[in-house]
């Protein structure tokens, strides 16, 4: 009896160490400084060097014309930023709000085992639609932009992963009619060649209170594709379901709900990674649904099988109008979670952190955290 109790105790401890809790993480460490990025994606190559893409938007008002400048840059520790896409968008209010130009957004990145860098982003061109664009880089030379898919309205998020054979897997969130018609779409090599994405889930809602968004994608060493995304459910409770499915050579598995978050919304999405032992991990970006118009609370949750979501990072921005009528922004925001496998073992969580007013000049940019103990990692 004593031996069996000891065995059960050891089994319990091994399971406890195998899944990191919020308290079992390293402190946040700055991977690279960045005060401008609105979205960023990061990946590691086989040597452990990081590669990233970032989206930067700046806006000006020139009389009755609003101008938005957008650009997407590639970054690495080895070289200065490289511009891979740009756009200029104008809205003229004097003639009824006519829009012209383009906006680039929603970049994502992957690095193949052969060292090739793969980037996907969205180019929204007035009069044409939202285009999913792909570019790759070999030996420092970027390919010409290639349009993979075009639709009439917004594509809010992209994701890309490479399997062990260096085959590409792309996912994106489609949004038509301001959340009236949303879908999660996937492209493998065959779909890329044919220009016909596969619809994972589509939601049509005339009341705009139900939608799917924020997909994340990863491949494991067996070639299995892991896909996660979020579904906002209707009602005053603001229920957010985290959904997960896989794809093998035999086809797609059924989609299953792996978590339910209440009183939370998300437009930023989630990220997923799968270790060699088959255990997946997710990071989910949300913000609290509240009636407080003077503050936003942002959360990044961590999720793995058999565990409830735990809050890994928390941010809060407050807004106050001063005597001169200027809006003062204080606090910090946390956005754009990314999960990657660490070549040394285990995995890392990356996220962007920015501050409003920053009188102490605290570091801003892409931060990383990872479990202190690997257990079964």
Over residues 74-87, the mean pLDDT reads 95
The model's confidence at residue 247, banded by pLDDT at 50, 70 and 90, is very high
Task: Give the tens place of pLDDT for each residue, 118-159.
Answer: 999 999 998 889 999 999 999 999 999 999 999 887 898 999
Q: Decide: 364 and 33 in contact? Cβ < 8 Å.
A: yes
For residue 64, what is the domain's CATH number? 2.120.10
CA–CA distance, 93 with 96 (Å, rounded to integer): 5
Over residues 321-345, the mean pLDDT reads 91
pLDDT of residue 23: 57
Number of domains in the chain: 1
pLDDT of residue 291: 74
Over residues 215-235, the mean pLDDT reads 93
Q: Average pLDDT over the chain, rounded to whole?
A: 89
The model's confidence at residue 275, banded by pLDDT at 50, 70 and 90, is very high
pLDDT of residue 11: 40
- And the tokens for 263? 């009183």
pLDDT of residue 1: 43
CA–CA distance, 31 with 11 (Å, rounded to integer): 36
First to last CA, the chain: 31
Q: Decide: 48 and 114 in contact? Cβ < 8 Å.
A: no
**Dihedral of the alpha carbons of 215, 216, 220, 224, in degrees to the nearest 10:** 10
- And the tokens for 79? 């070289």
Backbone angles phi, psi at 357, to 5 degrees: -70, 130
pLDDT of residue 367: 97
Over residues 304-308, the mean pLDDT reads 94
Q: Decide: 75 and 55 in contact? Cβ < 8 Å.
A: no
Residues 6+ apart with CB under 8 A from 241: 230, 231, 233, 257, 259, 260, 261
pTM over 0.85: yes
Q: Where are the alpha helices (DSSP H) in the chain?
A: 2-18, 189-194
pLDDT of residue 377: 33
The closest alpha carbon to 153, from 133, 134, 178, belongs to 178
- And the tokens for 89? 């968008």
pLDDT of residue 127: 86
**5 in a structural domain:** no
Checking if the pLDDT of 179 tops 80, the result is: no
The residue to which tokens 């009389």 are assigned:
63
**214 in a structural domain:** yes
Residues 6+ apart with CB under 8 A from 98: 91, 92
The closest alpha carbon to 35, from 278, 357, 368, belongs to 357
Backbone angles phi, psi at 88, to 5 degrees: -130, 125
Over residues 318-336, the mean pLDDT reads 91
Q: Report the DSSP beta bridge partners of residue 212.
A: 231
Checking if the pLDDT of 30 tops 80, the result is: yes
CA–CA distance, 350 with 36 (Å, rounded to integer): 17
pLDDT of residue 87: 96
pLDDT of residue 63: 78
Beta-carbon count within 10 A of 18 CB: 17
Task: Give the tens place of pLDDT for each residue, 85-117.
Answer: 999 999 888 766 788 999 999 999 999 999 999
Q: How far is CA 186 from CA 18, 46, 197, 278, 330, in A?
A: 31, 26, 5, 22, 39
Residue numbers of the domain that contains 347: 24-369
Rg (CA), the chain: 21
**16 in a structural domain:** no
CA–CA distance, 75 with 80 (Å, rounded to integer): 7
Q: Report the DSSP beta bridge partners of residue 40.
A: 54
pLDDT of residue 237: 65
pLDDT of residue 135: 98
pLDDT of residue 8: 42
Checking if the pLDDT of 231 tops 60, the result is: yes
Q: Decide: 38 and 87 in contact? Cβ < 8 Å.
A: no
CA–CA distance, 288 with 261 (Å, rounded to integer): 10
The model's confidence at residue 15, banded by pLDDT at 50, 70 and 90, is very low
Checking if the pLDDT of 304 tops 50, the result is: yes
**10 in a structural domain:** no
How far does Cα 32 stand from its chain's mean position? 17
């Amino acid at each position: 009896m004593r031996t069996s109790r000891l065995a059960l105790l050891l089994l319990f401890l091994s399971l406890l160490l195998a899944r990191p809790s919020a308290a079992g993480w390293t402190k946040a460490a700055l991977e690279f400084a960045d005060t401008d990025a609105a979205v960023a994606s990061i990946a590691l190559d086989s040597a452990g060097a990081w590669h990233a893409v970032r989206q930067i938007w700046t806006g000006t008002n020139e009389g009755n014309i609003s101008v938005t400048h957008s650009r997407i840059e590639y970054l690495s520790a080895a070289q200065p930023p490289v511009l891979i896409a740009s756009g200029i968008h104008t809205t003229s209010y004097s003639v009824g709000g006519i829009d012209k130009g383009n906006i680039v957004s929603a970049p994502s990145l992957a690095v193949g085992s052969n060292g090739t860098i793969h980037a996907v982003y969205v180019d929204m061109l007035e009069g044409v639609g939202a285009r999913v664009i792909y570019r790759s880089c070999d030996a420092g030379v970027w390919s010409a932009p290639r349009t993979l898919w075009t639709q009439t309205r917004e594509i809010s998020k992209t994701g890309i992963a490479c399997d062990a054979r260096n085959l590409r897997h792309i996912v994106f969130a489609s949004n038509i009619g301001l959340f009236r018609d949303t879908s999660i779409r996937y492209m493998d090599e065959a779909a890329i060649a044919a220009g016909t994405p596969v619809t994972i889930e589509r939601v049509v809602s005339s009341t705009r209170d139900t939608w799917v968004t924020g997909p994340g994608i990863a491949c494991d060493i067996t070639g299995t594709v892991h896909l996660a995304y979020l579904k906002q459910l209707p009602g005053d409770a603001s229920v957010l379901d985290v959904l997960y499915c896989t794809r093998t050579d035999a086809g797609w598995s059924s989609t299953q709900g792996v978590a339910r978050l209440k009183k939370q919304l998300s437009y930023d999405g989630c990220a997923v990674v799968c270790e060699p032992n088959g255990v997946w991990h997710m990071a989910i970006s949300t913000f609290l649904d509240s009636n407080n118009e003077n503050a936003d609370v942002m959360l990044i949750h961590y999720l793995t099988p058999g565990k409830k979501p735990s809050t890994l990072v928390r941010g809060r921005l407050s807004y106050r109008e001063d005597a001169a009528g200027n809006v003062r922004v204080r606090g910090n925001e946390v956005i754009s979670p990314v999960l990657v496998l660490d070549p040394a073992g285990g995995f890392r969580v990356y996220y962007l952190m920015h501050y409003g007013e920053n009188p102490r000049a605290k570091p801003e940019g892409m931060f990383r955290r990872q479990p202190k103990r690997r257990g079964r990692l």
